[in-house]
Amino acid sequence: MPTNWGLDGTTVAVVLGMSLGTYAMKAGGVWLLERVKVPERMESGLSVIPGAILVAIVAPKIVQGGPPEWIGAAVVLSLAWRTGSLLVSLAGGVGTVVLLGSIV
């Protein structure tokens, strides 16, 4: 099947709708905070959101994975804790998952 480089009008319109909707979400948080004063007691909530979101994205993925992902996650955590290097943690974790995945 040859590569299709064509552009369909309806498809382009839907794609642009998707990009506008996505951008509204990406920019929406900053836009809102510029207009709404966050009460002081809410600020502590806002400050834990980065960590909470990280955990919320990762936890289900790890739990629903298998032993390679569980052990890979443990390797990442311990490497990150000891070395503080993103690259080392990443390489160790991905390497572990590939290695264990090929055995299992």
| Cα–Cα distance list, 72 to 16, 59, 63, 65, 95 (Å) | 38, 13, 12, 10, 8
Stretch 81-100: interaction string toward other proteins, x if CB under 8 A: x--x-xx-xx--xxx-xx--
Is 102 in contact with 74 (CB distance < 8 Å)? Answer: no
The answer to whether residue 12 forms part of the interface with other proteins (CB under 8 A) is yes
Among 56, 66, 67, 71, binds other proteins (CB under 8 A): 56
**Distance from the Cα of residue 94 to its chain's centroid:** 16
The answer to whether residue 43 forms part of the interface with other proteins (CB under 8 A) is yes
**Nearest residue (CB) to other proteins, 54 versus 67:** 54
The answer to whether residue 49 forms part of the interface with other proteins (CB under 8 A) is yes
Angle between helix axes 40-64 and 67-83 (nearest 10 degrees) is 130
The answer to whether residue 66 forms part of the interface with other proteins (CB under 8 A) is no
**Nearest residue (CB) to other proteins, 32 versus 67:** 32
Is 62 in contact with 69 (CB distance < 8 Å)? Answer: yes
Number of residues that bind other proteins (CB under 8 A): 73
The answer to whether residue 23 forms part of the interface with other proteins (CB under 8 A) is yes
